[in-house]
Amino acid sequence: MTDERRFRIGVLGSGKGSNFVAIADACAAGTVAAEVALVVSDVAEAGILARARERSIPARFIPPGKFRTRLDEDAERAYVAALQTAEVDLVVLAGFMRVLKDGFLRAFAGSIVNIHPSLLPSFPGLAAWQQALAHGVRVTGCTVHFVDAGVDSGPIIGQQTVPVLDDDTPETLHQRIQAAEHALYPQCV
Ligand code: GAR
C-alpha cells in the first residue's frame, strides 16, 4: 500500500452515464491512472448517478437553477464548491447538457474536457448523429476537446471516425458512435 495521492476526476452528466462507466472501469482496471472522486448531475433521476452509486462513487444531484441551457449563478457556485471540496484535478463532461459559463471555466481553467458525438467542428449542438444523417455524410465520429465558453468548441484532444452505413437509423448510428466514445474518452483522459 502507498498513500500517494491519485489524480482525481470529477464527472458531470445529465444522462445514462455510459461514458462515465467506461472511464470508471478504466480507472478500476488501472488503464487510466486516476480515480473518479465525484459524479454530479443536473437531473435527479439520471442513470449516471445510479451507475456511480453502484460503484460506491460519491454521486450528487445539484439543482441547476432557473435556466434551461446553463447553470444559474447559485447553481454554478454549488457545482464549483462540490468539485473543489472533492479536490478534483480534472472535470470530465460526459453528456452534461448545459453550457458552462465564466465562473466555472475560471475555477477549473484548462482542466475541463468534453466528449461530443461528431467530428467537430462539424455538427455541434444537439443530436449530432441526426445532423450527420441529415447531411448525408459518409463518415462521422466523436471528439474529445478542452472546454471553452462556446458550444462544443475548444482545442481538440482526440477524435475517432465512425462510418455511416446505408441502412443506418439515428439509433444504429448513435450506438456505433457511442461504442467509439467508450474507447476514445478513457484514452484521452
Ligand atoms: C454522449 O454520446 C455524448 O457524446 C453526448 O451525450 C452522450 C451522453 O451519453 N454529449 C453531447 O452531445 C454534448 N454536446 P452517456 O450519458 O451514455 O455517456
The predicted-structure confidence for 140-156, as pLDDT tens digits, reads as follows 999 999 999 999 999 99
- For ligand 1, is residue 19 a contact (CB within 6 Å)? yes
Distance in angstroms (rounded) separating the CA atoms of residues 189 and 176: 21
- The sheet with strand 59-61 has its strands ordered as 59-61, 34-41, 7-13, 90-93, 112-116, 139-146, 156-163
Assess whether the C-beta atom of 115 lies below 6 angstroms from ligand 1: yes
Annotated catalytic residues are: 116
This model's pTM is above 0.75: yes
143 in contact with ligand 1, CB cutoff 6 A: no
Distance CA 154, CA 147 (A): 5
| CA 13–ligand 1 middle distance (angstroms) | 8
CA separation for the pair 181, 144 (Å, rounded): 9
Q: How do residues 29-46 score in pLDDT, each as one tens digit?
A: 999 999 999 999 999 999
Please give the number of the atom of ligand 1 that sits closest to the Cα of 20.
Answer: 18
- What is the position in ligand 1's atom list of the atom closest to the CA of 17? 16
Q: Over range 93-112, report the average pLDDT.
A: 97
Contact between residue 10 and residue 83 where contact means Cβ atoms under 8 Å apart = yes
In the predicted structure, residue 2 carries a pLDDT above the cut 60? no
Ligand 1 within 6 A of CB of 15: yes
Cβ neighbours of residue 142 under 8 Å, at least 6 residues apart?
A: 115, 116, 117, 118, 119, 159, 160, 162, 177, 180, 181, 184
Q: Following DSSP, what letter does each residue of 95-118 receive, concatenated?
A: S--SB--HHHHHHTTT-EEEEESS
Q: Per-residue pLDDT for 1 more than 70?
A: no
Report the percent of the chain where pLDDT is more than 90: 96
Residue 46 CA: nearest ligand 1 atom is 16
